[in-house]
Amino acid sequence: MHQPVLYKEIIHVLRPTRGGKYVDGTLGAGGHAYGVLEASSPDGQLLGFDRDPHALAVARDRLKPFGDRATIRHGSYTGLEAELQQMGWETVDGILLDLGVSSMQFDRPERGFSFKEDAPLDMRFDPAQDVTAADLVNTLPEAELAGILYRYGEERRSRAVARAIVRQRPVTTTRHLAQIVAAVTGGGKIHPATRTFQALRIATNRELEAVESVLPQAIKVLSTGGRFAVISFHSLEDRLVKQFFRQESKDCICPPEQLICTCGHEAVVFEVNRKPIRPGPEEIEANPRARSALLRVVEKK
């Protein structure tokens, strides 16, 4: 099977060892998890989350050789702390998040993540979720829709795009939406609908809210010396992770102009890499989607 992004780097920075406990919050097809379980043989354990039942079916099959060393849960990593309590795991030795849409989701037209083929405008990670991208496109007020496109897609012409969408409602397919956006924004180095599709996917799945929720949980449940690795694919996610890691690695977070510390904040982690780890040329050539991947890692003090 296709190897996940930054596979070797993840195994290197997480340093799986025998007897360790690990969490893969974005299990996908189980590629990273397979490597962690293999490196932590014979008795390392892993808890894997994913919101996509199709991905979980693939992961279960892939991780069968490890038997009950792999525990798989259908759900969001936002329930990390509660799930660990139920399992009786007080701390874990490593946590991984590989954020964004997976290749399996992107390559299935019926999931509605891509504009390369015509399909229903869906974009849900979990097909059981109530709200789809089509629901947002066809029900949100124009101003709110424009805000989503600007905030999550960094679309400079967000107001014009939102206005055009509202005028042509109902918009129910990926091709129709892509055509509307292209007519407003024109061409460029990337497809003109890329930012709009990114924004709607993030909003549909509440991705940034999920990341904000899990970051403090992950730091809390890490054991001393345990590591937390996050792969992000766009600036919004990476900014959240970077700012949180920087904050939690400082002894004082008072404003710079304040001469005396009053916050009482203490560093609980240190940054393993101040600059993000990026895929090498060989990986990018083999998997062009890896080119925007950024890996940040912290270790619990």
Contact 73, 47 (CB under 8 A): yes
d(CA 58, CA 239): 31
pLDDT of residue 41: 97
Indicate the average pLDDT of the chain.
95
Whether pLDDT at 102 is above 90: no
CA torsion 283→124→122→103, rounded to 10°? 10
pLDDT of residue 145: 98
Whether pLDDT at 188 is above 80: no
What is this structure's pTM?
A: 0.94
d(CA 112, CA 118): 8
Nearest of 114, 275, 127, 281 to residue 200 by alpha carbon? 114
Whether pLDDT at 247 is above 80: yes
Question: Mapping DSSP to helix (H, G, I), strand (E, B) and coil, where does residue 263 land?
Answer: coil
d(CA 169, CA 48): 39
